[in-house]
């Protein structure tokens, strides 16, 4: 039944920050709280993202979400990484992209999962992505 309630939605944000800087903020989990206010801290065994590794994101009010990195592609004009996140028995699959464009960066996020969770998360994600691609702080 949950499969019938699953959706895929994409958010795209543009900003003036250089793609190399955006990518660096993405692939270093310890930097996620700098631009994603819903993330308080991250437990992760490496400095940068690697496929087939996992960790825990700590959110507000003690919320914890386990995650597993399923792919990282740092090459090409469009860099990407994918992960699955599980919390309270619910799983989301998220694919992030970073692409240099004139004047800055285009970043995208595609989220697959239960419709209420995906639709509820999109405004939070859009806000965090705007911070990510804004001028260097």
Sketch the domain layout of the chain as residue ranges. 2-133
* Run of H or E including 91: strand 90-101
Give the residue ranges of the chain where pLDDT is below 70: 1-4, 136-137
What topology is assigned to 2-133 in CATH?
Alpha-D-Glucose-1,6-Bisphosphate; Chain A, domain 4 (3.30.530)
Taking a C-beta distance cutoff of 8 angstroms, is the pair 82, 57 a contact?
Answer: no
Return the pLDDT at 19: 97
Distance CA 95, CA 98 (A): 10
State the chain's mean pLDDT as an integer: 94
Taking a C-beta distance cutoff of 8 angstroms, is the pair 67, 84 a contact?
Answer: yes
Alpha-helical segments (H) within the chain: 19-27, 32-35, 115-133
């Amino acid at each position: 039944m949950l499969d019938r309630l699953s959706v895929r939605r994409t958010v795209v944000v543009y900003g003036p920050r250089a793609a190399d800087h955006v990518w660096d903020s993405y692939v270093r989990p310890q930097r996620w709280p700098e631009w994603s206010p819903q993330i308080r801290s991250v437990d992760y065994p490496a400095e940068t993202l690697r496929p087939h590794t996992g960790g825990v994101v700590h959110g507000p009010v003690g919320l914890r979400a386990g995650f597993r990195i399923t792919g990282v592609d740092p090459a090409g004009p469009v860099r990407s990484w994918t992960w699955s996140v599980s919390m309270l028995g619910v799983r989301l699959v998220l694919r992030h992209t970073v692409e240099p464009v004139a004047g800055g960066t285009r970043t995208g996020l595609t989220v697959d999962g239960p419709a209420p969770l995906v639709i509820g998360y999109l405004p939070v994600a859009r806000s965090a992505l705007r911070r990510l691609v804004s001028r260097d702080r």
